[in-house]
Amino acid sequence: MKILFAASEALPFAASGGLADVVGSLPAAISQNEEMDCRVVMPLYRSIQPDVRNQMTFLTDITVEVGWRKQYCGIYTIKVGKVTYYLLDNPYYYMRDGMYGFYDDCERFVFFSRAILEILPAIDFKPDIIHCNDWQTAMVPVFYQILYKYHQEYENIRIIYTIHNIQYQGVYGKEVITELMGIPTYHTNLLEFDGMVNLMKGAFETADCITTVSPTYAKEILDPWYSYGMDRALVRRQDPIVGILNGIDVEGYNPETDPNIPKNYTVSKMAGKKECCKKLLAECGLTAGDAPVIGIVTRFVAHKGIQLVQQSFQEMLQLGCRFVVLGSGEKLYEDFFREMQDAYPEQVHVTLGFVPAMARRIYAGADMFLMPSQNEPCGLAQMVAMRYGTIPIVRETGGLKDSVFDAGGEDGNGFTFKTYDAYDMLDAVKRACALFEDKRKWNALVRHAMKCDYSWNVSAKKYMELYRSLV
């Protein structure tokens, strides 16, 4: 079976968030099955390093229609493991500092979506499945249904559209239909939504299957509280949204081999974790002691639950907890953590920005990992924390609910709370601190969390079942 992943970013080439992790890992996991020929297509950004560019092979170039324009598209290829990558070049659109946030993002990714279909004859690869991801590739199923479906070289392709975060939909004025898309005006109803053009809504109307990144999030996005208005478009589909939990790269996130942590360790030899905690406290200038160390690695934005942390921070400090915080985002949250560090320098250490090596040291050195998100489509940090034996404390939403189960139950691997409330979160922290004092029970919980399998192999099997059902 031939699968083509289409995404605006992928590791190891370019990344801004979790999408790159998924597209860098899931195709590789699927490719372990000899029946699967899994390939990836993405833009060729300026940020891709010269040494990586030098390893790419130029295949050919084609012309892609963008409304009334005809734009150059160079096709480069490189193989990583068993996965072939195609990187599409257009200097005007992609030779910029950054991947998103430009005035012409709609044009840039309409071009990319059309190019994904145009390159298929040029690369001599007709996929059974095109797996599209997020709004940047939402026009692929729209273009396919309107312009390509009945051409002989494009027949019988099935298109899956995966929602990684429904908040980002690709919303623009109606003028983009005639200016950029070049589709007949009688098809504009596919894209119109609330008086605007909504690219994600177009994918909902035309894709063969809609998936998202966790079973709980698949249900949540039918609720107006979580859907950012898109529940009205989703409920019109007759088939259910498929939720498949993301995985993590268990080789890359491995406390036994990770070179970024002070001392390696395994589930059967845990002495290294104590050393990691000791070194983390020393690095951050925090006091040693028996109280737990709580790690936070996140973006400082409202939906990550930082408000709850603000409201109960003093009470958590009174429990004796030490905090190691890494992240950046909205200024009011950055200022809050700075103030807490200034007021409690022996209990709170904050690093503003994102330092990957520091994140690893927090995962390995903390005892608990706080992730009280208001909404979280999947979340990877809680799985990474468990991989390193750091117990997550999370709100039951999205992928957090599907991956973390409260220690009060039989299969508990963390601590959870349900309502978006600071005191419910504080209660979960208190329960975690109480169990932390019982070292026998705590160590058993840590070992169980480390043994949980959140590898991509589990998710890959479910995706392959889905592909087969569509074909």
Q: What is the pLDDT of residue 265?
A: 97
Contacts of 252 (CB under 8 A, 6+ apart): none
Task: Quote the CA–CA distance of 425 and 305 in Å, as a whole number.
Answer: 10
Comparing C-alpha atoms, which of 163, 159, 146 is closest to residue 233?
Answer: 163
For the domain made up of 2-247+457-470, give the CATH fold: Rossmann fold (3.40.50)
Task: Quote the CA–CA distance of 379 and 393 in Å, as a whole number.
Answer: 13
SS3 readout for the chain: CEEEEECCCECCCECCCHHHHHHHHHHHHHCCCCCCEEEEEEECCCCCCHHHHCCCEEEEEEEEEECCEEEEEEEEEEEECCEEEEEEECHHHHCCCCCCCCCCHHHHHHHHHHHHHHHHHHHCCCCCEEEEECHHHCHHHHHHHHHHCCCHHHCCCEEEEEECCCCCCCEECCHHHHHHHCCCHHHHHHCEECCEEEHHHHHHHHCCEEEECCHHHHHHCCCHHHHCCCHHHHCCCCCCCEECCCCECCCCCCCCCCCCCCCCCCCCCCHHHHHHHHHHHHHHCCCCCCCCEEEEEEEECHHHCHHHHHHHHHHHHHCCCEEEEEEEECHHHHHHHHHHHHHCCCCEEEEECCCHHHHHHHHHHCCEEEECCCCCCCCCHHHHHHHCCCEEEEECCHHHHHHCCECCCCCCCEEEECCCCHHHHHHHHHHHHHHHCCHHHHHHHHHHHHHCCCEHHHHHHHHHHHHHHHC
In this prediction the pTM is 0.92
Task: Give me the residues paired with residue 417 across strands.
Answer: 395
CATH 3.40.50.2000 intervals, the chain: 2-247+457-470, 271-453
Exposure of 315 by Cβ count < 10 A (0-12 exposed, 13-18 middle, 19+ buried)? middle
Locate 262 and state its tokens: 């002070």
Q: What is the pLDDT of residue 185?
A: 85
Would you tell me which CATH number, out of the four given (3.30.450.20, 3.40.50.2000, 3.30.450.40, 3.60.15.10), belongs to the domain 271-453? Answer: 3.40.50.2000
Task: Give me the residues paired with residue 158 across strands.
Answer: 129
Tens digit of pLDDT per residue, the chain (471 long)? Answer: 999 999 999 999 998 888 998 999 999 999 999 999 999 999 999 999 899 999 999 999 999 999 989 999 999 999 999 999 999 999 999 999 999 999 999 999 999 999 999 999 999 999 999 999 999 999 999 999 999 999 989 999 999 999 999 999 999 999 999 899 989 888 999 999 999 999 999 999 999 999 999 999 999 999 999 999 999 999 888 789 999 999 998 998 999 999 999 999 999 999 999 999 999 999 999 988 889 999 999 999 989 999 999 999 999 999 999 999 999 999 999 999 999 999 999 999 999 988 889 999 999 999 999 999 999 999 999 999 999 999 999 999 999 999 999 998 778 999 999 999 999 999 999 999 999 999 999 999 999 999 999 999 999 999 999 999 999
Cα within 13 Å of Cα(187), Cβ side: 18
CB 4 within 8 A of CB 129: yes
Task: Quote the CA–CA distance of 412 and 416 in Å, as a whole number.
Answer: 10
Q: How far, rounded to the nearest angstrom, does the alpha carbon of residue 272 sit from its chain's CA centroid?
A: 29
Q: What is the pLDDT of residue 16?
A: 84
> For residue 277, what are the CA distances in angstroms to 45, 259, 363, 439?
38, 16, 10, 16
Within a 10 A sphere around the Cβ of 355, how many other Cβ atoms? 13
Task: Quote the CA–CA distance of 39 and 455 in Å, as a whole number.
Answer: 20
Contacts of 361 (CB under 8 A, 6+ apart): 260, 261, 262, 276, 279, 280, 283
The structure tokens 């809504």 sit at 201
Q: What is the pLDDT of residue 209?
A: 96
44 backbone dihedrals φ, ψ, rounded to 5°: -95, 95
Q: How far, rounded to the nearest angstrom, does the alpha carbon of residue 207 sit from its chain's CA centroid?
A: 21
- How long a stretch of residues is the chain? 471
Task: Quote the CA–CA distance of 188 and 136 in Å, as a whole number.
Answer: 18
CA angle at 124 for the pair 39 and 465, rounded to the nearest 5°: 40
CB 142 within 8 A of CB 159: no
